[in-house]
Amino acid sequence: MQAFFPDFIVDGGGVFLESKYDGGVVESWLEQFDGDLQATERMINHMHIYDVFEGCSEGVDNRVFEQLAEVIALSWRLVLREKFADKEFSVLVSNSDQDYGPVVTFFQII
């Protein structure tokens, strides 16, 4: 399943989820963030857990989605370490009032 074992695209030193990658969008965010690659990766490489499991959320306790976010984050850490041994990444889970449910994102630590 792509949510747990995603593929990646490397572009201009950045690492992006293949499922979210669009060269024009990357360029646009890089421009908006004044060339900040970390901010661009963080913006593009996020996954809203509710969106992934859309249609399966009726009657499901939010803690289940929080746990799924943690498992996906762990999987991403392992996959990123395996595929990019020469790079270091931060994989974060958030679930604030500003988010639409739990969110997983990653970016390089430069």
As beta bridge partners, residue 105 has 46, 92
**Cα(76)–Cα(80) distance, integer angstroms:** 6
Amino acid at 62: N
Answer whether residue 19 is part of any domain. yes
Answer whether residue 3 is part of any domain. no
For 1-27, write each residue's pLDDT tens digit: 688 999 999 998 999 999 999 999 999
Answer whether residue 2 is part of any domain. no
Please give the residue range of the domain that contains residue 104. Answer: 8-108
* Domain total in the chain: 1
Longest dimension (CA), the chain: 43
Percent with pLDDT over 90 in the chain: 72
Asked if pLDDT for residue 55 goes beyond 80, the answer is no
Summary count for the chain: helices (H), strands (E): 4, 5
**Cα(68)–Cα(54) distance, integer angstroms:** 13
